[in-house]
Structure 1
């Protein structure tokens, strides 16, 4: 039997894939979104009687409170996502990414379930070997990651919470983001045929947007044994450097050229190798490898020809 799920920010990059998946699984889904990108990414869901949508701001308690009261499960996706966007509007970012979530947690009943995406960018550069698991110290670099670390502390005080520390997400979605690293490099390969790399040895972990939807469905199904825990979510075989990522893309776009800058510094200093073993121990396996996602992006960028789909 399906449950009533409230998804804030459900019309965004993650939500535009996740909401249809939740409906397909038999749940009743209410989306709260301010539609700041003027998107209609959930239009295909409107025919479904178990789908409802509310235009509003998660910072407005008068809007949020009655929606929370009807929810069995809350998935807070609403956020100003990424370091550049947060730097552009730091006050707005903190009010959405931290203050609104803290308010939401105060309004939730103890019996309600909350599954939230946080970020493995909180690890910064990891330990001396750049290795990270869920017990590793957090060294957030950007304001986005700092706010996510702070809100995760509040989140884990709730008895029915699960935190998913997501790797850098990639893949096509109705509300596309071309500014995420894999998506960005693939876009440059298809349209510009070259990219200049700074500190090309820096590594990150990656995760397909459809596996994000899958892990939330897994968390709903396995909530009794997963609650109260933090899980890294990423591809076990995709702790790759920027250079290695470009080499994979080059297999799909043979005339793609990547050059390593002799001078300069990447403003994004994240560099880490992430273990996803804890989540895998619950029975979850990713389904969409990096190579297949790049093939998908190369096809998708025949349709997407400009940067109107980035957050900044």
Structure 2
């Protein structure tokens, strides 16, 4: 079955991977994005007759309301993503990540479906064993995680919705992000050959950007079974520490050096092991391993170098 799908922030890191996949599945897709990074990440789908794009701000009801009326499914990706970006613009984080989503939910009918990315960074440092399921207490540390927790609570009241608590995403995308942990470490391995670790034993879960796109399609296909629920989305074999992540990278970049910082600590104190069993029980299986994702990042970084202010 095909649907009219509105994807806000569809030109971003996740959206530029998801939107082509939705189009290939036969859906009619409208993207709303403000293109704040001047990205051209959806150039390759402009030939698709089922693709429409609107440049606008999700905080404006006059922009969002007409698009919502035509949508069977809404996938709200538009956000200031990550703790550093939200700390740099806390007002923007609140109005985009929180207020705009609540406005959208008020405008939706109960029949319209929502599949929304939230974050497993909400677990903070986990319990005494650092092990987390969807039932674990939430201890968000960053502004980003706190806003996502608040929105998720309202989202679940909508009823006709699914929340995907995403692990730390990695992998190549048409709108690339270098700041995500695996992407960052691989970039340093390729171009700097070293990284300094703060609290290298801290663990978190990871998931490839293509698997995240796949989980949204899985949620569309199995919506009646999954609605009203929260699901962790990650690679079950990739609950690894920063030190272990470096070891994975060293297998492919042998001269990559990891050093533990003698002083200081990571401002992001996340440290947890996440269970993805609930999602896997619905029939979803991740397809891209951590090592395969690292290999593609190494290839990608032969084409990408962040030298805006460099001479070489």
Shorter chain as denominator, the TM-score bin is: over 0.9
Give the structure 2 partner of residue 114 of structure 1. Answer: 114
Instruction: Tell me the residue number matched to 2:293.
Output: 293
* Secondary structure at 1:62 match in 2: helix
| Aligned equivalent of 1:21 | 21
Residue matched to 2:130: 130
Question: How far off is 1:159 after superposition?
Answer: 1.7
Residue equivalent to 2:91: 91
Secondary structure in 1 aligned to 2:251? helix
Aligned length: 308
Query: How far did residue 307 of structure 1 move?
Result: 6.7
Question: Is 1:194 aligned with 2:191?
Answer: no
Alignment of 1:1-80 (within 5 A): 1-80=1-80
CA–CA distance in structure 2, aligned partners of residues 194 and 59 of structure 1:
41
Match of 1:248 in 2: 248
Q: Which residue of 1 aligns with 2:283?
A: 283
- Give yes or no for contact 1:17–1:174 (8 Å, CA) kept in 2: yes
Q: Per-residue deviation at 1:181?
A: 0.2
Write the distance in 1 (CA, Å) between the matches of 2:110 and 2:283: 26
1:304 counterpart residue number: 304
Q: What whole-Å deviation, never above 9, does each CA across 1:177-204 have from its counterpart, x for those lacking one?
A: 0000000000000000000001100000
Residues 197-212 of structure 1 correspond to what in structure 2 (within 5 A)?
197-212=197-212
Q: Distance in 2 between matches of 1:212 and 1:266?
A: 26
1:7/1:76 contact within 8 Å kept: yes
Give the aligned partner of residue 213 of structure 1.
Answer: 213
Change (3 A) 1:154 1:307: farther
Counterpart Cα distance in 2 of 1:43 and 1:139? 40
Match of 1:157, SS state, is helix
C-alpha offsets along residues 117-153 of structure 1, whole Å, 9 cap, x if unaligned?
0000000000001000000000000000000000000
RMSD: 0.7
Shift of 1:17: 0.1
Q: What residue in structure 2 maps to residue 104 of structure 1?
A: 104
Structure 2: distance between partners of 1:155 and 1:307: 41
C-alpha distance in 2 between matches for 1:102 and 1:164: 17
Runs of 5+ consecutive residues of structure 2 not aligned to the other structure? none
In the alignment, what sits opposite 2:155?
Answer: 155
Tell me how far apart the structure 2 counterparts of residues 198 and 244 of structure 1 sit (CA, whole Å): 13
Match of 1:238 in 2: 238
Deviation at 1:262, TM superposition (A): 1.8
2:177 matched residue in structure 1: 177
| In structure 2, C-alpha distance between the alignment counterparts of 1:113 and 1:156, rounded to whole Å | 12
Q: In structure 2, what is the Cα distance between the partners aligned to 1:222 and 1:228?
A: 12
Contact 1:178 1:307 in 2 (8 A): no
Shift in Å, 1:261: 1.3
Q: Secondary structure at the match of 2:237?
A: coil
- Look up the SS of the partner of 1:205 in the other structure: strand
* Cα distance, 1:87 vs structure 2: 0.6
Runs of 4+ aligned structure 1 residues displaced above 2 Å come to none
State how far apart, in whole Å, the 1-side matches of 2:198 and 2:19 are.
36
Say if 1:59 and 1:100, in contact at 8 Å, map to a contact too.
yes
Q: SS of the residue aligned with 2:68? A: helix
Please name the residue that 1:166 is paired with. Answer: 166
